[in-house]
A and B are shown apart, each in its own frame.
Chain A
């Protein structure tokens, strides 16, 4: 599958814990985006990386951080987890980034995080 991949599919953890979500973009895509979808909420933009550098930030909590590695995969780190962090976390990728002329964003299948 040459599309966007995300691991793990499901993650169950306890409050106060820390987890890492991983995303591999489509081959050739330089931008990676992270979105959070909570119950009854639309997808909320968290952060964008382009070729290893942070390009845009949305409503991302200070407890959350992300990075993009030289091989262009990205990780989203969530720490001091709270019940309200339970959500679907989507990753998307696109060819360009940072210019506003980026092409279509391609989405991964998502990681479902449950915080108990």
Chain B
């Protein structure tokens, strides 16, 4: 079964601390993985995708096929990073996204 698991509902850190939002997936094959973010009063938007292998707003995520994980990391959290983060999976040959339940990141000053 295709599934995305985000084990933490809430992650609270202080400004300047490292952040890691966990994402594990279940998929038989090679999926595409994404991180979407929703800031307060804004719509859901794409943060990054694993095939791009890029850093957006200081965030990176590496696909670990052995551990079936796609954790989102940032070395120094900023207050403006406070938001809801969703990990999502797209299977080969399909367009639909399978989302995790999301992790709320709170960055305190």
* Residues in chain A within 8 A of chain B (CB atoms): 3-4, 31, 33, 35, 40-45, 48, 55-56, 58, 90, 94, 96-100, 102, 104-110
Contacts and interface: CB of A to CB of B under 8 A. Distances in A.
Given A42-B101, A109-B43, A110-B43, A48 B86 contact: no
Contacts of A106: 45
B45 A107 contact: yes
Contacts, number: 59
Interface residues of B, number: 22
Interface string B14-47: 0000000000000000000000100000011110
Interface of B: 4, 6, 36, 43-46, 49, 86, 90-102
A107 B43 contact: yes
12 contacts: A31-B95, A33-B95, A35-B99, A40-B101, A42-B6, A48-B96, A55-B95, A58-B96, A96-B95, A105-B46, A105-B95, A109-B43
